[in-house]
Structure 1
Amino acid sequence: MQKQKLRHELKHNINISDCIAVRQRLRAIVKRDPHAGSEGNYKIRSLYFDNIDDKALLEKINGVNNREKFRIRYYNDNFDYIRLEKKSKINGLCSKISARLTKEQCEKIISGEIDWMKYSDNPLLVELYTKMKFQQLRPKTLVDYTREAFIYEPGNVRITIDSNIRTGMNSKELFNQEVATMRTHGNSTIILEVKFDEFLPSVIRDIIQVNNRQSLAFSKYAVCRMFG
């Protein structure tokens, strides 16, 4: 199993004016994510898992200190690079471990054909198999959004701006590009997120201070589950 590296995570719900200002300041001192397209952003689609009791959702809503969630994710409609991810929250810090999947493997997982996973050499796949088998973890809903990302090497800082957050409601059609999706809050929800290791450089801290907005606990999965 990959070693869990714990990182700090700050989130701010910002408006369009804040977004423009932060983006301009960031461009002056940080590098863009090299995976971004010509317009500086990329699309993300995730399929989140939960059990029949909505454990992941309720733990997020109730602010449970130690919690986890599983998702399958790909970028820019590219099925050649797909990841299974487990994101954990431990005493206020975050960690993420991942494993590569093929499109065919994803389709098997979504359809409930999971016995092959228990023979995997990857511990994360074995863990997902165990939790699907014994905790009734199942694919729950799609989450789509657009991400603009920046990297600042001192402090290993990653800054992202997520917008156009859409829900597939109860859909599990991960690879269907025509699946119906719905905006979660019209055009208004923009999430500024900052991840860093031991310290946040002061220059980045100053940049992300937008109109004295406070950090918040925001979950795209929880927001999208409001619709199903």
Structure 2
Amino acid sequence: MKQRECFRHELKYEIEYARYLELRSRLRTVMKSDPHAGEGGSYLIRSIYFDNYQDKALREKRDGVSIREKFRIRYYNDDLSLILLEKKVKDNSLCRKLDAEISEPECRQLLEGRLNWMRGHPSALVQELYAKMRYQLLRPRVLVSYVREPYVYGAGNVRITFDSRIRTTLYHRTFLEEQTVDISAAEIPQNRILEVKYDGFLPEIIRSLLQADGIRQQAFSKYEACRKFG
């Protein structure tokens, strides 16, 4: 299991398409495209989020609870050869992420409610999810999909991403389907979600570019946006 030793800062903004084009152009003068994005500069992310029957994670987000956690299963470009179980811990604008790789057969068993294999798994994170699925009744609730365009900057370990085409499945019990049936969850589809993540400090050159654009921080949650339909 990978674990960040320290919390990272995480800031989110919703920006209009024209502002996205302008800001992206300026950031490209100092930042590099994340090599994981490939030649196209972006990739598809799909995340299956967990919540309990009382929608604890959703309610805590809406109520502004400062310290909270979410479990999700994540994979990229519909490639099931790499599937990650992730736990994201938020403390106001700080976040820490823990993850563990699971196989496709393990993932399918988990999503079908067949959990016995998780008890003796070598990953402590898998064992933790097993306990919380048993005793907190966590269950997979929704599939969130979006396209991410990422950029990186070495100083401060800065990562800036633009997310678009946010889509959601209506509540159903089947995941990892051959064909995903979903709908747009964005109120203004052309807008982008800008995320800024960094370690101990945000370099002045990046800060000045963001401030020059006049954008304001917002508490945006893709999970919350995608749960409005069920």
What is the match of residue 77 of structure 1?
Answer: 78
Q: Normalising by the residue count of structure 1, what TM-score does the alignment of the two structures yield?
A: 0.95
What is the match of residue 220 of structure 1?
Answer: 222
* CA deviation string 1:191-220 (max 9, x = no partner): 000001111011111222364221011110
CA–CA separation in structure 1 for the residues paired with 2:72 and 2:50: 6
Count of paired positions? 228
Q: CA RMSD in A?
A: 1.4
Q: Which amino acid aligns with 2:105?
A: E
What is the match of residue 211 of structure 2?
Answer: 209
The 5 Å alignment of 1:52-201 reads 52-185=53-186, 186-201=188-203
Q: Which amino acid aligns with 1:12?
A: Y
> Hey, which bits of structure 1, 4+ residues long, moved more than 6 A?
none
Task: Say whether the 8 Å CA contact 2:148–2:164 is kept in structure 1.
Answer: yes
Instruction: Extract unaligned runs of 5+ from structure 1.
Output: none
Report deviation, 1:39. 1.6
CA–CA separation in structure 2 for the residues paired with 1:140 and 1:23: 33
Report deviation, 1:177. 4.2
Report deviation, 1:97. 0.4
CA–CA separation in structure 2 for the residues paired with 1:174 and 1:162: 22
Task: Say whether the 8 Å CA contact 2:81–2:104 is kept in structure 1.
Answer: yes
Q: Which moved more, 1:15-24 or 1:129-138?
A: 15-24
Instruction: Extract unaligned runs of 5+ from structure 2.
Output: none
Report deviation, 1:93. 1.3
CA–CA separation in structure 2 for the residues paired with 1:4 and 1:221: 25
Task: Say whether the 8 Å CA contact 1:4–1:96 is kept in structure 2.
Answer: no
Change (3 A) 1:211 1:151: closer
Over the matched positions of the two proteins, sequence identity in percent amounts to: 48
Q: Secondary structure at the match of 2:28?
A: helix
Q: Normalising by the residue count of structure 2, what TM-score does the alignment of the two structures yield?
A: 0.95
Report deviation, 1:3. 5.3
Q: Secondary structure at the match of 2:227?
A: helix
